[in-house]
Structure 1
Amino acid sequence: MDPWAAGDKLKFETAAITHPGNVRPVNEDSIFTDGERGIWLVADGMGGHRDGNLASAMIAETARGLGKGTSLMELTEAFRRGIGAVNAELLSRSNGNADRIVGSTVAALLIHKANYCCLWAGDSRCYLVRDASIEQLSHDHTEVQELVDRGVISKAEAASWPRRNVITRAVGAIDDFQLEHASGVVRSGDCFVLCSDGLTGHVNDEEILARSSRLSANRASHELLELALARGGKDNISVVVVNVVAKGATTVVMR
């Protein structure tokens, strides 16, 4: 029986790390974790736009300002409203000028009691590691992913596609904005991994699985970061690892 089957509170071992990488002078990623309220996220300011770090920081602050929530639905809807307000504020700042757009991707994990909801926009990802296998809960909002979905190119071709980083949905980029979501039931031993594309641009799913399934959250996050840096670290890199554990709860945040 799971340790919380009788109503006990979920416990988490969390580690979060963000790094500018080897090339970019500014880290436009933001991370936020709060195991007590069941909120974790990674936001990646849109590269090439002014103040992408501001956009991602606004998303993190939205998570910080959320209440605890009496249900997963309440927490999810509060998060959606908050991100909608950030989207409206960023659009207002750009004043309809495409050259002034400031935006950010987001991948968020919300957990209440024994249920989770992953919400996202863009190509920051949320993974679930369970029973020695890995599942990408999120689905990239990118031009190259749309081509794969339509069968125009294969997954193998997508890895070297010249426009593979073109985002089709991001906070602050479009008026008709919606977060996509996936939900399910949390099990003892589950591991969730949130990351920006600075990680997945260098590290594949099997490598994420190998580390997150056998290491502590802290060690897994560091090894994943070190691997991405060793392979070039061309973008900002952020990783959040959330282990669902039977007892005790720790959070390690490295910036």
Structure 2
Amino acid sequence: MNNVALPFESFGVSHKGCVRDLNEDSYLVEPRTGLWVVADGMGGHDAGEVASASIVDHLATIGIASSAPDLRARFEDRLSRANAEIRGISEARGITIGSTFAALLVMDGRFACLWAGDSRVYLVRNASISQISKDHTEVQELLDRGMISAAEALTWPRRNVITHAVGVSDEVVIDYQQGETMPGDIFVLNTDGLTAHVSDAEIEAAVLSAAPQAACENLLETVLARGGTDNVTIILVKIGDRRNGQAAGPHPATAGGRDR
């Protein structure tokens, strides 16, 4: 049975921040197809936004899948097409451009999170937050090898060096985690402009104290009040309960964009 139509409440916001001239982030909110994506472009003026928009534009064509494996297959096909397009643009311009991404797929009572780079997916379940994704960064690799401590990682001079992204190689290297959804689950997808200014505990408190739209807007306001040194994009997805219809009536799907 196709269960894409679980009651969702989801919302997304994006902002260029207080320092950057352009917003190179893009995002996709598609509750009808069970897909949510944030993408953070890299490559400088007019290039990063092209890369992130390519990911969103291709993923927006997925349509309604027949099963969870079909949804995953469609996702990977579109991501591969975006990678090829970005590679072509890089070659034509004589520069290297790319984009991180983090995605949530939900269908048939299960979820899959897929990502490349340092855009993140969190899950707030039973009033506790956990980071599902694991950053593809130089500093994370050093942490994994035990070469630096968690405290040192916070101030590491090359902490934002990305090790995987879409468009930087012929093959897309992605990671994923999957599991079962539970009523009340809240997924948070974000680019690193959020976590540069807001702690995991603050994210948890924000999403537990307000509905997705208000929580997104409150988190964005916090980032901007603290200097907004990067573009920031945030998507919240709350899983409802089929029995009582909680969390029904999602925010109208936004095909994607760079809001402000």
TM-score above 0.5, yes or no: yes
| Alpha-carbon distance between aligned partners in 2 of 1:39 and 1:141, rounded to the nearest angstrom | 22
Query: Letter of the aligned partner of 1:87 in structure 2?
Result: N
Could you list the runs of 5+ residues in structure 2 that have no partner in the other structure?
none
Moved more, 75-84 or 173-182: 173-182
| Alpha-carbon distance between aligned partners in 2 of 1:93 and 1:104, rounded to the nearest angstrom | 13
Query: Letter of the aligned partner of 1:184 in structure 2?
Result: G
1:117 lines up with 2:112 in the alignment: yes
**1:82 to 1:8, Cα distance in 2 relative to 1, 3 A:** closer
Alignment correspondent of 1:4: none
| Alpha-carbon distance between aligned partners in 2 of 1:126 and 1:33, rounded to the nearest angstrom | 14
**How far is 1:213 from its partner?**
1.8
Equivalences for 1:94-173 in 2 at 5 Å? Answer: 94-95=90-91, 100-173=95-168
Alignment correspondent of 1:17: 13
| Alpha-carbon distance between aligned partners in 1 of 2:36 and 2:207, rounded to the nearest angstrom | 16
1:192 lines up with 2:187 in the alignment: yes
Q: Residue 74 of structure 1 is aligned with which of 64, 70, 77?
A: 70
- Give TM-score scaled by structure 1 length: 0.92
Is the contact made by 2:100 and 2:115 (CA closer than 8 Å) also made in structure 1?
Answer: yes
1:64 lines up with 2:69 in the alignment: no
Moved more, 241-250 or 132-141: 241-250
Alignment correspondent of 2:84: 88
| Alpha-carbon distance between aligned partners in 2 of 1:145 and 1:41, rounded to the nearest angstrom | 22
| Alpha-carbon distance between aligned partners in 1 of 2:11 and 2:130, rounded to the nearest angstrom | 20
CA-to-partner distance for each residue in 1:87-110, whole Å, 9 max, x for gaps? 12212222398x601110000001
| Alpha-carbon distance between aligned partners in 2 of 1:25 and 1:183, rounded to the nearest angstrom | 36
| Alpha-carbon distance between aligned partners in 1 of 2:219 and 2:5, rounded to the nearest angstrom | 29
Query: Letter of the aligned partner of 2:249 in structure 1?
Result: A
Q: Residue 229 of structure 1 is aligned with which of 221, 224, 227?
A: 224
- Give TM-score scaled by structure 2 length: 0.91
**How far is 1:232 from its partner?**
1.2
| CA RMSD across the alignment | 1.9
**How far is 1:37 from its partner?**
0.9
Query: Letter of the aligned partner of 1:171 in structure 2?
Result: V
**How far is 1:81 from its partner?**
1.3
| Alpha-carbon distance between aligned partners in 1 of 2:160 and 2:73, rounded to the nearest angstrom | 29
| Alpha-carbon distance between aligned partners in 2 of 1:94 and 1:14, rounded to the nearest angstrom | 34
| Alpha-carbon distance between aligned partners in 1 of 2:4 and 2:64, rounded to the nearest angstrom | 17
How many residue pairs match? The answer is 249
| Alpha-carbon distance between aligned partners in 1 of 2:14 and 2:184, rounded to the nearest angstrom | 24
Is the contact made by 2:193 and 2:229 (CA closer than 8 Å) also made in structure 1?
Answer: yes
CA-to-partner distance for each residue in 1:31-73, whole Å, 9 max, x for gaps? 1101111110100001536510011111111121002111111
CA-to-partner distance for each residue in 1:160-199, whole Å, 9 max, x for gaps? 1111111000000122322211000000000000000000
Is the contact made by 1:127 and 1:193 (CA closer than 8 Å) also made in structure 2?
Answer: yes
Moved more, 88-97 or 206-215: 88-97
**How far is 1:225 from its partner?**
0.8
Moved more, 7-16 or 108-117: 7-16
Is the contact made by 1:49 and 1:103 (CA closer than 8 Å) also made in structure 2?
Answer: no
Equivalences for 1:210-249 in 2 at 5 Å? Answer: 210-246=205-241, 247=245, 248-249=248-249
Q: Residue 35 of structure 1 is aligned with which of 31, 35, 39?
A: 31
| Alpha-carbon distance between aligned partners in 2 of 1:226 and 1:47, rounded to the nearest angstrom | 27
Alignment correspondent of 2:250: 250
